[in-house]
Amino acid sequence: MVQTQTDEVLVAAARDGDRAAVEALAARYLPLVYTVVGRGADRDLDVDDIVQDTMMRVVTGVSGVRQAERFRSWVVTIALRQLADARAEARRSRLSRADDPAGDDREDPAADFVGLTVLRQVLDTEQREIAEAARWLDPAFRVVLSLWWLEAGGHLTRAEVAEALELSAAHAGVRVQRMREQLDVARSVVRALDAAPGCPALRDTTSGWDGELDPLWRKRIARHVRDCPRCSERSRRLAAAEGLLAGLPLLAPPAPHQPRRRRPGQLRCGGQGGEERRHACRLRRDGLRGRGRSEPAGAGRLLRTGRAGAGTA
């Protein structure tokens, strides 16, 4: 059975053109890729597309992988590059939308599907706070958190995290530490905002806030938390993040897309707003069904979807 083979055996077979080995590797690594991208992506990125592009590059590039023991970090590196490309593309498209007020669809709540999936998959209140705090991080730190979260969960080693970040182990450690400092600030922000009853002075501070999770507001609210006896008292009892993140499973990738008839009243997908909405709708429709957490069903679709320009890595 090809599914029970080690990565080394599968990579060697894939290199020799064994199609079943390629499919088995893709199926095995899809949850990891989905988790890296899902936790690392900004809310307006199309996670489904980034994952699909990553898997296509993995499938087409595996024949060039010389060191089988580095296959996992090679896959994670591809995912991060695809994520960085998508982020750059989104930035360009945001800039062009800024010139066209009618084209700004930033408010689409469906686009935050993955963020919500992350929240749903954590159970504990403090884990949930971390998942919410992650959405406040600077984009570069979100990627670091995504990798460090996988390390805490035993899915990546520190050496693989460092390699994916293209840093030495020592520099990766520094980057993780900086991310953790910002994460703890963000956790205190989330906790202060969620407190019931809320702090009246914080309500004044946030009276002009439109709800966007941007660094400026993170800093503004954090400053209040630090200076306010009531809010700072709450943030004093944050548990160590790695203990909270350990043992959390990989995110389940969405099941393969099955075209189905739209029910009356269901949100229309693919209308104005285009690609982003279409994918968010598809994910929302298909991604929330019950399924095994490491079900590899999506891999077949990824392998079957021939996509031009996927080139070798």
Q: Which of 58, 65, 53, 50 is nearest to 27 (CA)?
A: 58
Q: Which of 229, 231, 183 is nearest to 206 (CA)?
A: 231
Q: Which of 139, 44, 123 is nearest to 131 (CA)?
A: 123
Residue placing its CB nearer to Zn ion in the complex, 182 or 188? 188
Residue placing its CB nearer to Zn ion in the complex, 12 or 238? 238
Q: How many Cα neighbours within 13 Å face the side chain of 13?
A: 16
Residue placing its CB nearer to Zn ion in the complex, 43 or 234? 234
Residue placing its CB nearer to Zn ion in the complex, 197 or 259? 197
Closest contact distance (angstroms) between CB of 241 and Zn ion is: 23
221 lies in the binding site for Zn ion (CB under 5 A): no
What torsion, rounded to 10 degrees, do the Cα atoms 297, 302, 306, 310 define? -160
Closest contact distance (angstroms) between CB of 47 and Zn ion is: 35
Three state DSSP letters for 87-111: HHHHHHHHHHHHCCHHHCCCCCHHH
Residue placing its CB nearer to Zn ion in the complex, 228 or 238? 228
Q: Which of 191, 165, 200 is nearest to 73 (CA)?
A: 165
- Give the per-residue contact string, 166-205, with Zn ion (x = CB under 5 A; - = no): ---------------------------------x-xx---
Among the candidate windows 5-13, 35-43, 173-181, 224-232, which touches Zn ion by CB under 5 A?
Answer: 224-232
Closest contact distance (angstroms) between CB of 239 and Zn ion is: 21
Closest contact distance (angstroms) between CB of 190 and Zn ion is: 14
230 lies in the binding site for Zn ion (CB under 5 A): yes
Among the candidate windows 35-43, 114-122, 229-237, 269-277, which touches Zn ion by CB under 5 A?
Answer: 229-237
- C-alpha 158/C-alpha 168 separation (Å) is 10
231 lies in the binding site for Zn ion (CB under 5 A): yes
Closest contact distance (angstroms) between CB of 236 and Zn ion is: 13
Size of the site for Zn ion (CB under 5 A): 6
Residue placing its CB nearer to Zn ion in the complex, 7 or 129? 129
DSSP string, 225-249: HHH-HHHHHHHTTPPPHHHHHTTPP
| Residue choice 195, 228, 303, 313 for contact with Zn ion (CB under 5 A) | 228
Closest contact distance (angstroms) between CB of 132 and Zn ion is: 18
- C-alpha 138/C-alpha 140 separation (Å) is 6
Which tokens in the block code for residue 257? 């897309």
- Where do the H-state alpha helices sit in the chain? 7-15, 19-40, 47-61, 71-98, 113-120, 125-134, 139-152, 158-164, 169-194, 200-205, 215-227, 229-235, 241-245, 275-287, 297-304
Q: Which amino acid is at 9?
A: V
Residue placing its CB nearer to Zn ion in the complex, 189 or 231? 231
Among the candidate windows 98-106, 120-128, 146-154, 221-229, which touches Zn ion by CB under 5 A?
Answer: 221-229
Closest contact distance (angstroms) between CB of 213 and Zn ion is: 19
Closest contact distance (angstroms) between CB of 238 and Zn ion is: 16
Residue placing its CB nearer to Zn ion in the complex, 230 or 278? 230
Residues in contact with Zn ion by CB under 5 A are 199, 201-202, 228, 230-231
